[in-house]
Amino acid sequence: MTSGAHSTFTGPSDLHLHSNHSDGTETPTEVMRQAHAHGIRTLALTDHDRTTGWDEAGAAAASLGMTFLPGMELSARHDWRSVHVLGYLFDPTDPALAAETEKIRADRVGRAERIVRNIARDYDLRWDDVLEQTTVDATVGRPHIADALIARGFALDRTEAFEGILHPRSGYYEPHYAPDPLTAVRLITRAGGVAIIAHPVTMGRDRMLPVSFLERLIAEGLGGFEIDHRENTEDGKKALRELVARHDLIATGSSDYHGMTGKPNRPGENTTSDEMVARIIDRATGAQPRYA
C-alpha cells in the first residue's frame, strides 16, 4: 500500500498489458478479469499507438476493485531498431501526440497490406483474411497477420508465425513509419505523461540503444526503463539498473500480456514496486489514475 498525497493503491502492479484495441487477443474487460485472476490489483492498459480501450478497461478495473492507470505503447524507431516507448497518465487529447499516433496507425495499415502482398507470392493469403482478425478498428500489426496465417493453416500459433513467415529476415517483412525515440519521449512528456522505454535490452535486432543515446532521451524527459520483462537479457538489466541509479530514474517490471493465446506472457509474471508506481503517479500531470 502507498502513498503520500494522493489516493492509495494496492500492489501487485503490472503496468504493461494489451487488449484487442491493438494486438492483444482479449477485450479490455477480459484483460482486466485475467489480470485480477492472476492477483494483480493495480494495472495499466498499454495498447500500441492507441487509447480507445481506456474507458472500458477503467470501468472493468473499478468493478473488480483495481486501480487503473491509462497508458499506451508508442512505436518508435532508431536506425534499424524498433523502440517501444510506454507512456503513462498523459492527456489523450494532446493534439501533437494524437496526430502522431494517427500517423503511425495509418501507415501500419499500408505496411500490413504490403506484408500480405509479399506473403501472397508463396501462400494463399488475402488482406480480407487479416481484416477478419481485427476488431474495434484495432492498431494493425504482424500479430493479426499471424492470426490470419493460423486461420488459413499456415502456422499453429503466433510464435510459430513470428519465427517463420513474419520474421524480419523471411523476405516478406516491411517496416512501418515510426518517429525517432527522442520525438516519442518528447510527445509523451509534453502531454503530461511519464515515458518509460519498454523491454530496452532484448536479444537480436532490437538490442540495447547506446548509453550516450539513452542519456539524450533522459535529457529529453525520459522517466525510466522497464527492467523486469521476460525478454530483457540479464546483462542488459544490470546495465540498466546502473543507469537508473546514476540518474535517479524509474524502474518498472511488467508482463507485456497479449491475451492467454496471444503470447506466453502472463499477468503478474513481472511487477512494479509500490514506490515506483507512486513516482509515476506523482510525476504525471496529463491524467489521473482511476482509483478503485
β-pair type (81-88, 194-197): antiparallel
Q: Which does 7 bind (CB under 5 to 8 A by kind): ligand AMP, Zn ion, Fe ion, none?
A: none
β-pair type (67-78, 81-88): antiparallel
Contacts with ligand AMP by CB under 6 A: the residue count is: 9
When computed from its CA atoms, the radius of gyration of the chain, rounded to whole angstroms, is: 18
| Phi, then psi, of 161 in degrees rounded to 5 | -60, -40
Q: Which of 119, 290, 61, 222 is nearest to 129 (CA)?
A: 119
Which residue type occupies 9?
F
Contacts with Fe ion by CB under 5 A: the residue count is: 3
Which segments of 80-174 are extended strands (E)?
Answer: 81-88
Q: Scanning residues 63 to 92, which ones bind Fe ion (CB under 5 A)?
A: 84
Q: Which of 1, 28, 104, 59 is nearest to 257 (CA)?
A: 28
Q: Scanning residues 41 to 70, which ones bind ligand AMP (CB under 6 A)?
A: none
Any contact of residue 23 with ligand AMP (CB under 6 A)? yes
Any contact of residue 116 with Fe ion (CB under 5 A)? no
Sheet holding 194-197, edge to edge: 13-17, 42-45, 67-78, 81-88, 194-197, 224-228, 250-253
Distance of closest approach, residue 125 Cβ to Fe ion, in angstroms: 21
Residue with cell 517490471: 253
- Which positions from 147 to 186 touch ligand AMP by CB under 6 A, shown as an x/- string? -----------xx--x------------------------
Any contact of residue 229 with ligand AMP (CB under 6 A)? no
Any contact of residue 198 with Fe ion (CB under 5 A)? yes
Q: Scanning residues 141 to 160, which ones bind Zn ion (CB under 5 A)?
A: none
Distance of closest approach, residue 23 Cβ to ligand AMP, in angstroms: 5
Options 253, 256, 280, 290; binder of Zn ion; rule CB under 5 A: 256
Any contact of residue 105 with Fe ion (CB under 5 A)? no
- Which positions from 240 to 269 touch ligand AMP by CB under 6 A, shown as an x/- string? ------------------x----x------
Q: Scanning residues 6 to 25, which ones bind Fe ion (CB under 5 A)?
A: 23
Measured at CB, which residue is nearest to Zn ion? Answer: 256
Q: How far is CA 90 from CA 51, 184, 195, 199, 233, in A?
A: 10, 12, 9, 20, 29
Any contact of residue 143 with ligand AMP (CB under 6 A)? yes
Distance of closest approach, residue 47 Cβ to Fe ion, in angstroms: 8
| Phi, then psi, of 8 in degrees rounded to 5 | -90, 155
Burial of 66 (0-12, 13-18, 19+ CB in 10 A): buried
Instruction: Name the residue nearer to ligand AMP (CB basis): 53 or 286.
Output: 53
Binding site for ligand AMP (CB under 6 A): 23, 141-143, 158-159, 162, 258, 263
